[in-house]
Structure 1
Amino acid sequence: MSDGAPKPASKSTFHFLAGLSSGLLSAILLQPIDLLKTRVQQSGHHSLRRTLSEILRPASSSSSTSSITALWRGTVPSALRTGFGSAVYFTSLNALRQNATSIPVLASTAVHTPGQGSSSLPKLSNTGNLLAGAVARGFAGFLLMPLTVIKVRYESSMYNYTSLPSAATSIFKTEGLRGFFAGFGATAIRDAPYAGLYVLFYEQSKRSLSHSELFASPDVEGKVKEKMGVGRAGLINFSSAMYAGVLCSVVTNPFDAVKTRIQLQPGVYGNMVTAARKMLAEEGVRSMWDGLGLRMSRKALSSALAWTVYEELIRRAEGFVGNNGVGAGKKDKVL
């Protein structure tokens, strides 16, 4: 990369921190939706209202004040998993995209002018976006799988873990190391295509919206086209992330439903094929779509929050470095 190229996009540490921040924010705000999805997929009765009433039901007549906080059960493992998952994912994704730009079949032919689009991230072809998203998510999913298992069991009513150490100890004693990777097959098959399609749809939507009459900045004759403002860029990224999240959630929900059953009851559901057959035989096709509405809402909102915050942090850093440093040495000093 030349000295005049923006350095923040190549800084792994900054991408890690930006991903961690966006992941933590979305995890904490949207934990109630995640909790409801897990309980609906666990129950088999498909009723959101019934599930919600069970969660909000006070443990005793004198503990009515604790019912609302029950919706945030599992927030700590969820925040850790989502926060560090986002950090690893965004860092890996950026590294893959940076390297892919040197491969003709993966690189985008579009010319990127910093500040004039809604994003400062590397541009790839459709194939490049699909592969980069899938590989980055698969890698992050494997590293964070133990936290994912603990998170799902914390959210379930089948386990009464009191702390992360006790949960890890219990899983290790009863299932060994293998227990921390229960459902990884279904998770990988769900997450890799989801992430690949997500990045593809997200980038296509951003490109379309950036050139639409609604979002395009005015092109004044004889003047340099002004940089896209924070509000317009944020709205484009947020809308694109919502759109991509909804589409990908619908496509991959059956894998999510199967994955949840395996993680909650590995001894009953075994592997992905066994679990799918058992669910279809006992509960029908509808069981594959348990929690779809909740997952779709959660994924769309969490993706929108995470990607919008992440993209804006990258844009701001790029702008700050560009305005306060000239040359690689000065830029490196900033970040």
Structure 2
Amino acid sequence: MLYTFKDTLGREYSVDMDDKRFRIKPYQQMLSSCTGALLTSILMTPLDVVKTRLQTQQKRMASNRCYVYCNGLMDHLCPCPNGTLKSLKTQSTHYNGMIDAFYKISRYEGARSLWSGLSPTLVLALPATICYFVSYEGTRIYMKDFYLKLNPGQTEQPFSIPLLAGMAARVFSVSVVSPLELIRTKMQSQKLSYYEVGKALKATIQTEGIFGLWRGLGPTVFRDVPFSGVYWAIYESLKVHHDVTVPTFGFSFFGGAISGSIAAFLTAPFDVVKTHKQIEFGEKVLYAEHPVKSLPKVGTIAILRRIFEQHGVKGIFAGVIPRVVKVAPACAIMITSFEYGKAFFFRHNVDIYIEKNGSVS
């Protein structure tokens, strides 16, 4: 990718953004991505809450004691044994789509409930973003250098490099932050205090060991790894197709939104499986009247088949609309801030090099 600019003397240069002399450093990659991560977390958490509620809604509970207390939210799935529903007693808590879920959550729990799990989301976003973008850039550049070394006549990276680099980066990042993802899902699927979340995590470790904190990692990998590969492959392909070397704000925003939407739709079934597995653990182990010591191992394909048999195609794609509505602008914000940061730091690195060496030639 060539970046064209003029120096202070008016001389024009065309420099490869992956040139070893000017590549952005890991700490610069972190700064480029963290701002987008903060904005995305704050703006997109309500859509994530709605998506989780819609997916949880179709999950049948194993007993009448699914949660620590009843707040009227999940009574269509888990009847409240003490009958203390107060003003919510006669209210329906069945969500008829995304807009209805927004309305009922805001009305019955308060608008702040739409940001349930924001704290762990913020804690999750920074390490996840750092791990993901730094590992993606490092892997992509390494693979590109290796490819160009084997193919001296080539100057551009092939379609497969961003695809594989995105998948490898996602495997690493989701493995690192999976326990925090588990906490966030628990807080969004029901209204729990931090004390109750702590008790749930303690019970998880006691019943399943420390590796229980990685429950749902398999479906998460199935969901996020292909998502990441498809996303980066489409985005980089759009840049090549439109002959874009340094993306503008508009290109990054719409290119990221299009790529994210396609990837989110294709991988939505795996997001449903991940939510089902994490919620099922709470039903049968943490809050059941006669909790089991451990859950049988059920594969992702088997769960998808079961969901399809019970709910059809609609069940497999439960929450897909808020997922796409969330992912599209989230990807747009993230890639726009990242590309802007990359261009800024790249120019900064080039200027420093020119000051030391007089020119880039």
TM-score calculated relative to the size of structure 2: 0.72
Structure 1 CA distance, aligned partners of 2:357 and 2:311? 62
Structure 1 CA distance, aligned partners of 2:272 and 2:192? 18
- Secondary structure, counterpart of 1:101 in structure 2: helix
Q: Which residue of 2 aligns with 1:138?
A: 171
Q: CA deviation at 1:193?
A: 1.1
Q: Which residue of 2 aligns with 1:185?
A: 218
Q: Which residue of 2 aligns with 1:80?
A: 123
Q: Which residue of 2 aligns with 1:333?
A: none
Deviates more, 1:130-139 or 1:177-186: 177-186
Structure 2 CA distance, aligned partners of 1:95 and 1:80? 23
Instruction: Determine if the alignment matches structure 1 residue 242 to structure 2 residue 275.
Output: no
Matches of residues 267-282 of structure 1 in structure 2 within 5 Å?
267=284, 270-271=297-298, 272-282=300-310
Matches of residues 132-171 of structure 1 in structure 2 within 5 Å?
132-157=165-190, 159-162=192-195, 165=198, 168-171=201-204
Q: CA deviation at 1:167?
A: 5.2
CA contact (8 A) 2:116 2:188 kept: yes
Instruction: Determine if the alignment matches structure 1 residue 288 to structure 2 residue 307.
Output: no
Instruction: Determine if the alignment matches structure 1 residue 310 to structure 2 residue 325.
Output: no
CA contact (8 A) 1:242 1:300 kept: yes
Q: CA deviation at 1:49?
A: 3.9
Distance of aligned partners of 1:309 and 1:163 in 2 relative to their CA distance in 1, 3 Å threshold: farther
1:148-189 CA-to-partner distances (Å, cap 9, x unmatched) read 111111111175544765554343234432321111111111
- Secondary structure, counterpart of 1:33 in structure 2: helix
Task: State the one-letter code of the partner of 2:258.
Answer: Y
Structure 2 CA distance, aligned partners of 1:50 and 1:110? 53
Distance of aligned partners of 1:71 and 1:162 in 2 relative to their CA distance in 1, 3 Å threshold: farther
Distance of aligned partners of 1:179 and 1:257 in 2 relative to their CA distance in 1, 3 Å threshold: same
Count how many residue pairs are aligned between Structure 1 and Structure 2. Answer: 292
Q: CA deviation at 1:198?
A: 0.7
Name which one, 1 or 2, has greater alpha-carbon Rg.
Answer: 2
TM-score calculated relative to the size of structure 1: 0.78
Structure 1 CA distance, aligned partners of 2:188 and 2:153? 45
Q: CA deviation at 1:6?
A: 6.1
CA contact (8 A) 2:116 2:191 kept: no
CA contact (8 A) 1:40 1:290 kept: yes
Instruction: Determine if the alignment matches structure 1 residue 12 to structure 2 residue 2.
Output: no
Q: Which residue of 1 aligns with 2:138?
A: 95
Q: CA deviation at 1:257?
A: 0.7
Q: CA deviation at 1:295?
A: 0.6
- Secondary structure, counterpart of 2:169 in structure 1: helix
Q: CA deviation at 1:240?
A: 0.9
Q: Structure 2: which 5+ residue stretches go unaligned?
A: 1-15, 59-94, 285-294
Distance of aligned partners of 1:56 and 1:269 in 2 relative to their CA distance in 1, 3 Å threshold: farther
Distance of aligned partners of 1:153 and 1:310 in 2 relative to their CA distance in 1, 3 Å threshold: same
Structure 2 CA distance, aligned partners of 1:233 and 1:324? 24
Deviates more, 1:276-285 or 1:135-144: 276-285
- Provide the alpha-carbon RMSD of the alignment: 3.0
Structure 2 CA distance, aligned partners of 1:312 and 1:236? 11
- Secondary structure, counterpart of 2:354 in structure 1: coil
Percent sequence identity is: 24
Structure 2 CA distance, aligned partners of 1:107 and 1:313? 30
Q: Which residue of 1 aligns with 2:147?
A: 104
